[in-house]
Amino acid sequence: MRLFHILLLPLCLLFAQVGPGAGLLANMGPKMDDYKCGLNGGLCYYSPCPEPTESYGHCYRGRARCCA
């Protein structure tokens, strides 16, 4: 029983940081812009889009372009 409590404590600390959505697990999901870019057949580039492709969105929180 003591082992269960020892294993449960780190799990609770991961979920309950300062406030809701501020825990360590909040940033572990897929990044929405990057995920949508990949679903649409695009790739994220920090440089300008290659010649046959066009930019139609942003990736990495606006730091890169989504090219398709």
Encoded tokens for 30: 């897929």
* Residue 60: CATH number of its domain: 3.10.360
Domain count, the chain: 1
- Terminal-residue alpha carbon distance, the chain: 55
Helix (H) or strand (E) holding 8: helix 2-15
Q: Is residue 11 part of a domain?
A: no
Give me the pLDDT at residue 53, please: 92
Q: Specify the residue for token string 């449960």.
A: 8
Considering the domain boundaries, does residue 7 fall inside one?
no
Domain holding 33, by residue range, is 29-67
The tokens for 51 are 């010649």
Is 46 within the bounds of a domain? yes
The whole-angstrom separation of Cα 3 and Cα 40 is 46
Scanning the structure block, which residue is given the tokens 């372009």? 65
- Rounded mean pLDDT for each run of 10 residues along the chain, 68 residues in total: 75 60 55 82 92 90 91
